[in-house]
Amino acid sequence: MCRLFGMHAGPKPVTATFWLLTAPDSLAEQSRRMADGFGLGVFDSDGKPVVDKAPMPAYEDRAYASAARTLKGTTFIAHVRYASTGEDALVNTHPFLQDGRLLAHNGVVEDLDKLDDRLRSLEVMDLVKGQTDSERVFALITGLARQNGGDLGEALTEAITWIAENLRLYAVNLVITTDTELWAVRYPDTHPLYVLQESADDPHRGKRSARISVKSDEMEQLQTPAVMVATERMDENPNWRMMDAGEILRVDKDLNTERFFPLPQHPQHLLTLADLDPHTAASQHPLKVAGT
């Protein structure tokens, strides 16, 4: 299962150091099913996106997969890919960039021919450079945002509602970042997605994950609050909560959070693991986390 991570550190940029695939079991027990790609994205001091990603499987280059990446920004997005659609190529590696936004996705959406027709009707098919369902879902959101004047919340609602009503899907969990906002969606309840609003004086502060780790000495020294979203609890902090099925979460530049529930309760064409082809089904199984 792909790993998602998003973090908003508030109005002042901070430096965060990331490690990917650091768990002892992740290259031993899963040696031939490691990351088909991994990437990080931030926005620099001018609000321009900076993306660092690679499509290689982790077992081909342990040093690269485990190397620290130091990036500075207010919002951060990271993704470890277990491919379900599309070859191992840079164009298929998350996060994707469209119209000044970054997206990482976890799940499966099928009937891509129908989705492509919808993208053509919105005149955004040119945004799709690779083969993934994820990039196409992003293009749908982008096309609808262009159409409605840039309201990302409305575009997310309309895009996922349309997918839920017209396409076969297994899950549409995603994180989108801009230079000032973080958005997250969990739909329906197939895969977990957790959120933590960490205060400056939270006694449980600490960020460590089996798949993606992030550390910021600057945040610790300045006792900077943050909001994090991840596919698994990154530490033992008891304040992590599972996002509800159908929840859309928005975090603004001041770390104020809003929750919305505008999506259909049940997708019209919900897939199960048994409905997926073997390769895709294998990519969606939860992975064993070290110590569990």
Percent of the chain with pLDDT over 90: 53
Residue 291 lies in a domain: no
Give the C-alpha separation, 194 to 285, whole Å. Answer: 17
Q: How far is CA 12 from CA 25, 180, 253, 277, in A?
A: 36, 10, 9, 45
pLDDT at 118: 98
pLDDT at 27: 35
User: What are the pLDDT digits (tens) for 272-287?
Assistant: 989 888 777 766 766 5
CATH, residue 100: 3.60.20.10
Residue 256 lies in a domain: yes
pLDDT at 30: 41
pLDDT at 147 over 80: yes
pLDDT band per the 50, 70, 90 thresholds, residue 79: confident
pLDDT at 281: 77
Give the C-alpha separation, 119 to 123, whole Å. Answer: 6
Residue 140 lies in a domain: yes
pLDDT at 289: 39
Residue 55 lies in a domain: yes
Closest CA to 103 of 19, 289, 229, 258: 229
pLDDT at 23: 46
Q: In what order do the strands lie in the sheet with 96-98?
A: 96-98, 101-109, 169-177, 182-186, 247-251, 257-260
User: What are the pLDDT digits (tens) for 95-132?
Assistant: 999 999 999 998 999 999 999 999 999 999 999 999 89
Total structural domains within the chain: 1
pLDDT at 119: 98
User: What are the pLDDT digits (tens) for 227-277?
Assistant: 999 888 888 889 999 999 999 999 999 999 999 999 999 999 999 989 888
Residue 23 lies in a domain: yes
Residue 86 lies in a domain: yes
Residue 292 lies in a domain: no
Residue 289 lies in a domain: no
pLDDT at 292 over 50: no
User: What are the pLDDT digits (tens) for 57-73?
Assistant: 555 656 656 666 788 99
Which of 31-45, 209-223, 259-273 is least confident?
209-223
pLDDT at 198: 79
Parent domain of 43: 3-284
- Between 153 and 18, name the one with better pLDDT: 153
pLDDT at 261: 98
